[in-house]
Structure 1
Amino acid sequence: MLSPLRRLAPGPSAVVGVSAVLLLLDASVVSRSYVGLALLTTGVLALGASAAYPRVHRAGREAVACVTALGAAVVSLLTTSLVRETVLQRTPGWGELAGLLLLLCLVCRYAQPAPLVIAVVPLLVAVARTKERAPVLTDLPVFRDVDGLFLLLPVAFAALGGYLRAEDVRRRSVARDVRHAERLDLARDLHDHVAHYVTAIVVQAQAGEQVVERDPATARQLFGNIERTGQDGLVAMSRMVKLLRTDDSSATEATVSPALTHIAELVQQADSVSQRTSLEVADGVDDAEWPPQLAKTVQRLVQEGLTNVRKHARAASAVQVKLGVEGERLIVRVRDDAVGQHKGRSWFRPSGFGMTGLAERVAEHGGELSSGPMPEGGWELAASLPVQGTDRRVR
């Protein structure tokens, strides 16, 4: 078993080592009296407070963190007053000074507005007044021309804390944007998968209800199709859950089907005797050149288009999925020849999420989306997407 010292991380070990050196430096020059003992004790308290502050802050105990910083400043001011009234020491208390500066930086970085105002001013004053303990400091060559050293140090550490605070805010903002984008993407995927498979199940169940008495054989076939569609939906949902639960390295090793292959499977699944569905891929369409996000968007466009035909164009006898190229843009069209809406019972209530999700996906890639009736009859869902430079989402 490793000893406690060997288990310490390099960072904390270095901090502990530097703190010990500073305290030993103070101990080597202070007088052997209660004043020297007070100065060393104040150094230990300041370093301990700076080490405890992050833990107390992470625990959500802002009041305790504020009292910790304020207490270290008050004790330092009392020690300075004691030293000033008795004997001038040859050190300002290097351990104490380091602890107060670290504490000042941490307060400026983490404290809420009210505790920040309460703690910062006493800390600034405490650091500035440590100069009163070291009258011989200005006689040293290094510090001879730096009269404002004990004013510049606290200002510099406070500025460092403010900079780190701003960086924390920026990182949280970026992380929040990324999480929001991920939630939107997940919501779209869930809608697309659930709507696609559930719509297929409902449509076949409706058809089975109509033919179960006069054509039992067809009804049995429809029930078999419902079972297979449900199984396919469960497999797709399991694949999504597995992808969410695995790490990035496992996800990157998973085999991804070519986009056109997946689109062909969607078209084949939608094809039926009463509603023929076909796929037309123009020359120049090469899914190998598509970035992953573009391929996913094209698949979702086709999936949502076919799902909407099942929902709202039951009278359609033919559905066409067309992929073409115009310049540097990929054109995706899903057309049907329905002359009117389904006149039976309204089984599907429009959620609005499908087209909203598609519009968001297409907009992220700098594309254009349209949906509406065609002059010759029927309905068309069309999208124009740039093949290059399509992934614009926040990282």
Structure 2
Amino acid sequence: MSHPFPRPARETVAAACACVLAFVLDAGVVSRSGVGAAVLAGGVLALGAVAVALSAYRSGRTWQVCALCVAVAVLSSLTTALVGHTVSQRTPGWTELLGLLGLLCVVCRYGQRWPLVLSVVPLFVAVTRLEDRAPGLTELPLIGSVHRLFTLPAVGCILLGGYLRTEDGRRRAAAERVRQSERLDLARDLHDHVSHHVTAVVVLAQAGEQIAGRSPETVREVFTDIERSGQEGLVAMGRMVRLLRDAGGGGAPAPATPVMTTVEELVRRFPGPGQHAWLDVADGTDGAAWSPQVARSVERVVQEGLTNIRKHARTATTVHVALGTEEDRLVVRVRNDAAGQQRGRARFRHSGFGLLGLSERVAELGGELTSGPMPEGGWELAASLPLR
């Protein structure tokens, strides 16, 4: 099956038409001599240099472009001197003018500091000297009253290149902000999802180690839970890999699970040996009315709170998750009754990334996140999120 050629951009077509028209004008009026051929050859060389410069900048060859610009400018100045010492033309070389102006614009847009300066100066001189090739231009109405006529387009192309350079910088900065935001989201999701399941596997394995000699039946249940948590972790990791690979977002979105269902499932699966967990949802708290951002944040708060209890609250026997509203804000609380740490080896190190990412997520919605001990004992993680 044959593939059609891509359609060129309108700007490319317009530039090509302008170059062809300029070349036809030059070819129609230059003298039939070696000088005229030099004028035409200089125009073709200047236009070709623009294409070569664009290609070189894409591959990072800045100094090669500088050398090319200097060579083109020197050849243009030599051609101008040749015309001045032999016979003046009826054209300054419109094709060559377009090429030199194009080089000025490209260099000012993509060039680095010193290569840019070393390129712009000879190109600017070459453009301003083109006027010397056609003394007849001074006899034209309006144009004849403008001193150093070709200085204006040269300055205009330098300014245009600088403007495009500024816009490129703004677009790169905006793209970097978007990429940074995406990286933060992925880092949060990686911690929230994968860390949650890995933590469950580690906790169950450590529990199995302690009860292996006392209750073989319980150990069998523990291994079943370990397998289930591992499978869920693999599913979460596969979902994140798909998000990374499908950068274009062309795939069909995964079906969304209601936030209340997800929270209930997290609480139901949480309790380990000797633990009890329950969920309280205040009257009038409707998860279906929340925005996707609020619903996602609620799920992450509950998940992070339960994960931290597994990691660090070894003496917790009861865990209480509460969802309610206070005025126009949604309040999520995850509490445990851990009175202190048991003796023995530490299960996990405090990375700090979980609460940091959660604080950023809540703050983006205009909410507040707090974490600390309760007066009556135990620990509480609480988030307050605006509903509007």
Q: Please give the alpha-carbon distance, in whole angstroms, between the structure 2 residues aligned to 1:258 and 1:3.
A: 45
Q: 1:313·1:342 contact (CA, 8 Å) conserved in 2?
A: no
* Greater Cα shift, 177-186 or 120-129: 177-186
User: What secondary structure, in the 3-state scheme, does the structure 2 residue paired with 1:149 have?
Assistant: coil
The one-character-per-residue Cα deviations of 1:326-382 (angstroms, maximum 9, x if unpaired) are 222221110011222233321211112111211222222222111111111110001
Match of 1:290 in 2: 290
Determine helix, strand or coil for the equivalent of 2:143. Answer: coil
Q: Aligned to 1:285, what secondary structure does the other structure show?
A: coil
* 2:186 aligned partner: 186
Aligned counterparts, 1:304-383, within 5 A: 304-383=304-383
| 1:233 matched to 2:233 | yes
1:161-203 CA-partner distances (Å, limit 9, x unpaired) = 0001011111111112221221122112112223211111121
CA drift at 1:32 = 0.8
Q: Structure 1: how far apart are the matches of 2:59 and 2:287?
A: 51
Aligned to 1:346, the other structure's residue is in SS state coil
8 Å Cα contact 1:324-1:331 kept in structure 2? yes
Asked if structure 2 preserves the Cα contact closer than 8 Å seen for 1:194 and 1:233, the reply is: yes
TM-score (norm 2): 0.94
CA distance, structure 2, for counterparts of residue 384 and residue 179 of structure 1: 28
Rounded to whole Å, the distance in 2 between the matches of 1:280 and 1:144 is 87
Q: Kindly indicate whether the alpha-carbon contact (under 8 Å) linking 2:200 and 2:229 is maintained by their aligned counterparts in 1.
A: yes
Partners of 2:42 and 2:2 in 1: CA distance: 33
Corresponding residue of 2:276: 276
Partner of 1:300: 300
Q: Structure 1's 184 and 247: CA in aligned 2 closer, same or farther, altered over 3 A?
A: closer
Amino acid at match of 2:65: A
The more displaced of 272-281 and 6-15 is 6-15
Instruction: Report what 1:170 is aligned to.
Output: 170
3-state DSSP class of the match of 2:263? helix
Q: Distance in 1 between matches of 2:2 and 2:85?
A: 49
Contact 1:331/1:384, CA 8 A, preserved across alignment: yes
Distance 1:2 1:188, change over 3 A: closer
Distance 2:3 2:130 in 1: 38
Paired with 1:98 and 1:276, the residues of 2 have a C-alpha distance of 79
Alpha-carbon distance in 1 for matches of 2:284, 2:118: 68
Task: Judge conservation of contact 1:205–1:226 (CA < 8 Å) in 2.
Answer: yes
In structure 2, relative to structure 1, the CA distance for the partners of 1:114 and 1:181 (3 Å cut) is: same
- 2:224 aligned partner: 224
Given that 2:205 and 2:222 are in contact with CA atoms closer than 8 Å, whether structure 1 keeps it comes out as: yes
Q: What is the percentage of aligned positions where both structures have the same residue? A: 57
Letter of the aligned partner of 1:85 in structure 2? H
Q: Is the 8 A contact 2:131 2:148 kept in 1?
A: no
The aligned amino acid for 1:105 is C
Paired letter, 2:302 = V
1:9 is matched with which residue?
A: 8
Aligned to 1:90: 90
**TM-score normalised by length of structure 1:** 0.92
1:243 touches 1:251 (CA, 8 Å); kept in 2? no
**Cα RMSD between the aligned structures?**
2.1
* Comparing 7-16 and 202-211, the one that deviates more: 7-16
Q: Secondary structure at the match of 2:349?
A: coil
Distance in 2 separating the partners of 1:314 and 1:109:
61
Letter of the structure 2 residue corresponding to residue 120 of structure 1: V
CA contact (8 A) 2:194 2:236 kept: no
Q: State how far apart, in whole Å, the 2-side matches of 1:254 and 1:198 are.
A: 23
Q: Distance in 2 between matches of 1:292 and 1:69?
A: 55
Aligned to 1:128: 128
* Residue of structure 2 in register with 1:391 after alignment: none
Contact conserved, 2:128 with 2:148, CA < 8 A, in 1? Answer: no
Q: Residue 9 of structure 1 aligns to a residue in which SS?
A: coil
Q: CA deviation at 1:131?
A: 1.2
Write out per-residue CA displacement over residues 195-222 of structure 1, whole angstroms, 9 at most, x where no aligned residue. Answer: 2111111211222122211211111111
Once the two structures are TM-superposed, the CA of residue 94 in structure 1 deviates from its matched residue by 0.5
Q: 1:198 corresponds to which residue?
A: 198
Between the aligned partners of 2:249 and 2:50, the Cα distance in structure 1 is 38
CA gap of 1:98–1:2, structure 2 versus 1, over 3 A, is: farther
Please list the CA deviations of residues 79-98 of structure 1 after superposition, one character each: whole Å capped at 9, or x if unmatched. 11111122221111000000
Range that drifts further, 71-80 or 103-112? 71-80
Distance in 2 between the 1:257 and 1:47 partners?
59
User: What is the distance in 2 between the residues matched to 1:294 and 1:184?
Assistant: 17
Partner deviation per Cα, 1:286-326 (whole Å, 9 max, x = no partner): 33333323322221111110011111112112111111222
The residue number in structure 2 matching 1:115 is 115
SS at match of 1:335: strand
More displaced stretch, 291-300 vs 35-44: 291-300
What is the deviation of 1:2?
8.2
What is the aligned partner in structure 2 of residue 72 from structure 1? 72
Select between 83-92 and 109-118 the one with higher mean Cα deviation. Answer: 83-92
- Residue 137 of structure 1, CA deviation: 1.8
Hey, what's the Cα distance between the residues in 2 that align with 1:171 and 1:367? 30
Paired with 1:128 and 1:3, the residues of 2 have a C-alpha distance of 46
Residue type of the partner of 1:9? P
- Matched-pair contact (CA < 8 Å) for 1:278–1:320: yes
- Please tell me whether the aligned partners of residues 104 and 157 of structure 1 are also in contact (alpha carbons under 8 angstroms): yes
Q: 1:356 to 1:253 in 2, by over 3 A?
A: closer
Aligned residue for 1:47? 47
Instruction: Report the more deviating stretch, 261-270 or 275-284.
Output: 275-284
Change (3 A) 1:221 1:10: closer
SS of 2:323 mapped into structure 1: strand
2:362–2:368 CA contact under 8 A, matched in 1: yes
